Amino acid sequence: MRHFARLVLCLTLSGPFPLFSQTVVVPATQSTLSRHYEPGERLVYRMHGINEGHSSTRRYDALATGLVIKDASGNFIEQFHWSDVHSNGETFTLSPESQQLQQTVSLDPGHRLAMPSLTTVQPALIGPIADLLTFYADVQLAMRQKGLIHVGDHVFVKRSIPNSWAYGTRVLLGQDVIDFDITLQSVDEATHTAMLIVRHVPPAELQLKLPAAWMLKPVGSTPNNWVQVEKTEEGKYIAGIGHETFEADIKISLPSGRILSTTMDNPVDVLERTCDDADLATCGEPSSYRIRRQISLDAQPN
């Protein structure tokens, strides 16, 4: 979702961020996996990320510290603050606004996940915020599925609704669209943990409204599911079409249902052209490249 040139290079690049420009709502059902909250429970996670863009690579890590409380509706929520951020090995100083940001997530089936306001947040935090939200959304979605009972059980959740990350005057068009392929990969009785595999996959049919005919040709083995058009300061239009996937491997505690660790691989294969006009009809030769994001999240001692 989140390509990372869209979050990191220009407040774009995040497979996860556009996913939650619209809320995913799935009918609640029973599942082998469930979250058992305790009021006052504290959670600490360390996130590591490698964002390989078209022309540069960024490495970061950040600490998320959370507390379990109930919201006004009686649902359990986890409220996180971010700190101890490093970018390319250097300590990154958070502004007062970034330090005060409170990110709310939850695995309570009654809570609707949403992106917090990012208007005052530094760009370096947007990726971690979006990725944490993606991991919680994947697990909450899995916990709603009645078909995930035994090891090897598999469900497919069709969404096929475009997500947008277009903003302001620079990113004129930014959309991707994915469906969910979820597997209960394993259960370890000795450690009382379960492993989920959540794949974000392109729909079988084209679901994007593309502004130019040359964008219709598939970049990968399925219809294109990622598109972005940026306007440069020189008045040119950088237009990209692509094939995007995610795979998240998520370890969950069976007694509590809390997330213990996650890894995510998010490649985007892009075909890009620089165009003279807004209709994307007069364009230069195409260039092809891959953007790849690799993210991990690990529970830390409280």
110-119 LR contacts (CB < 8 Å, sep 24+): 110/28, 110/73, 110/74, 110/75, 111/71, 111/75, 111/76, 111/77, 111/140, 112/23, 112/25, 113/20, 113/23, 113/24, 113/137, 113/140, 114/20, 114/23, 115/17, 115/20, 115/21
Q: Tell me the domain boundaries of the chain.
A: 4-299
Question: Which residue intervals of 20-122 are DSSP H helices?
Answer: 96-100
Q: How large a percentage of the chain has pLDDT more than 70?
A: 89
Architecture of the domain delimited by 4-299? Roll (2.30)
Alpha-carbon span 293 to 298, nearest angstrom:
17
Q: What is the pLDDT of residue 55?
A: 87
pTM: 0.85
Give yes or no for residue 28 having a pLDDT over 60. no
Mean pLDDT score across all residues of the chain: 89
SS3 assignment, position 266: strand
Which amino acid, 37? Y
pLDDT digits (tens, 9 = 90+) for 180-238: 999 999 999 999 999 999 999 999 999 999 999 999 999 999 999 999 999 999 999 99
DSSP state of 159: -
SS3 assignment, position 259: strand
